Structure 1
């Protein structure tokens, strides 16, 4: 995975993808969910996240209370200690990591807490879920983070130009 090339291409294509988003928004919700689900399956059958881990290297998931409690138990500490050590409240009032890359990312791109990872990590990049209409702006932002999401938009760009 050539992350440098991906970063350049995703930045270069961002405005084009932003325009494409308007066409994508015109799809019926069920049709849009089906389009994304099929594209997700196709891309992730070819892309190995462990060869990339850009999401873990550059962004933070939102930690909900159940994530904090579960991970606190893993590290045998109080929730407040876990928060003090790893998290802060962002501008939107969500708990996110203090640092990037993720402190739980191992050198081989595996996750130290994989079985107990936050819900947001389990669901990332959110391209195979229901109600894609509700998260299209987030999905557009994820074209700058996840090569698979970027490629989904590249493919949609071909399909929607027809």
Structure 2
């Protein structure tokens, strides 16, 4: 699995600590994009319906135009971690990772405070002006098309 184009510009190497996949809650979620659904069904060898019922929470978000979009999030396991995180802190769907996970620990449309939640970023050489907002704009646009596939 290669890093996203935006992350390739940063001097950062994953330490495989698993912290970005742990302690998910309403403030720390993994959004799934339409392109993620077929990738995960393939990785897990399950139907779309099974994927949604076992691993996905649906939510409605209001757009700035006042419309609502149904969006999907990874449903945390009972321990609060990503259900695809293995005991060795590696990803169980590595070759089919969701788009947000590919960008982790930076996330989607990242341009936030450099004092991140994650220890692994404290030593990363991140340019002050760095942002993934423009790179990820196209990915966000896929939400308008929805999850039908």
Task: Report TM bin, short chain.
Answer: 0.5 to 0.7
1:148 aligns with 2:114: no
The aligned counterpart of 1:71 is 40
RMSD: 3.3
Equivalenced residue count is 108
Distance 2:124 2:23 in 1: 20
SS at the partner of 2:57? strand
More strand by share: 2
1:54 equivalent in structure 2: 19
SS of structure 2 residue aligned to 1:89? strand
Query: In the alignment, is residue 114 of structure 1 matched against residue 94 of structure 2?
Result: yes
- Structure 1 or 2, whichever has the larger Rg, is 1
Change (3 A) 1:68 1:101: same
Q: Where in structure 2 are the equivalents of 1:1-162 lying within 5 Å?
A: 40-41=10-11, 43-44=12-13, 48-50=14-16, 52-59=17-24, 60-92=29-61, 93-99=70-76, 100-126=80-106, 135-136=110-111, 139-140=112-113, 143-144=116-117, 146-152=118-124
Contact 2:32–2:98 (8 Å) recurs in 1: yes
TM-score by length of 1: 0.53
Q: Which runs of 4+ in 1 moved over 6 A?
A: none
CA shift, 1:61, in A, is 2.0
Post-superposition offset of 1:142? 7.6
Which structure has the highest helix share of the two? 1
Is the alpha carbon distance of 1:106 and 1:89 closer, same or farther for their aligned partners in structure 2, counting shifts above 3 Å? Answer: same
- Encode CA deviations 1:90-142: one digit per residue, 9 max, x unaligned: 35342112213011111111111101111111122338x9xxxx632xx3398
